[in-house]
Amino acid sequence: MASLSLSIIVVLVLAAFLPSIIYMVIVKNTERRRREPTILVFVAFLRGATLSVIIAIFIELILIYLVFDLDMLRASDLFGSDPIIQTLILACIIAPVTEEATKALGIIPSITRAHEIEDGIVYGAAVGLGFAATENLFYETSAYIEGGLALWAGTTILRTISSALLHASASSVTGYGLTARRFTGSSWLPYYLIAVVLHGIFNLAASAGPLLESSWGDSGYLFGLVAAIVIAAGAFSWSRRKIRSIEHTGRLT
């Protein structure tokens, strides 16, 4: 097991947070007119990196205990005790529902600052990227401790081009729904549900390896990984296109 020195900790933190900050700047600068103040976007990023993550961990631990340890929902009767199925329940249901809700909590304080509907996309992406940065720090640090530099580098690259983009994109959908609610009175719930489904599909793809291994072998892992990256990158691209589309059509409030 690799040890953690101060210099290594600094590298781990930078590797987890810097890509998310760069993505945040890219989304923010997608707006051509009346860009949101950098300080406000960064505050949203920090809420995602702290408040949203802490609440998500707390709720997920409770749900895991209720569903699997207490068997409150009799998950074993419905799905059996296969650890792969339990992992999928956690990854594709519990995590998306919980994390998109806690990220929404991080977005809400910024909505009062929004002066255009597309600002919700910017703030939503910022919160999601803050969440992703902290989550990546956990996973990447664990990878370094368990497998050293090689495993850390691979994990960092993969999570930078997949999970970070997914969190930004999913919460940007919720953010858009929250600003739409403020300016038009429409419900934000459908947008939250879209974010949950998007997150769940991404996690399903990322977790598909064990399910496909029996028939596809190692190719199943590769297929799931590529699918997850395509989903995340495509959703991130949608977020930026949506900002440009709203500005181009003059759909401003």
For the chain, what are the domain ranges? 6-249
84-119 burial: b if 16+ Cβ within 10 Å, else e: ebbebbbbbebbbbbbbbbbbebbbebbeebebbbb
Residue 19's closest CA among 162, 138, 229? Answer: 162
Q: Encoding tokens for residue 131?
A: 């969440």
User: At residue 74, what are phi and psi to the nearest 5 degrees?
Assistant: 50, 45
Model pTM?
0.92
Per-residue pLDDT of the chain (253 residues; tens, 9 = 90+): 777 899 999 999 999 999 999 999 999 999 988 899 999 999 999 999 999 999 999 999 998 888 776 555 455 554 455 567 778 888 999 999 999 999 999 999 999 989 889 999 999 999 999 999 999 999 999 999 999 999 999 999 999 999 999 999 999 999 999 999 999 999 999 999 999 999 999 999 998 877 777 677 778 788 889 999 999 999 999 999 999 999 877 554 4
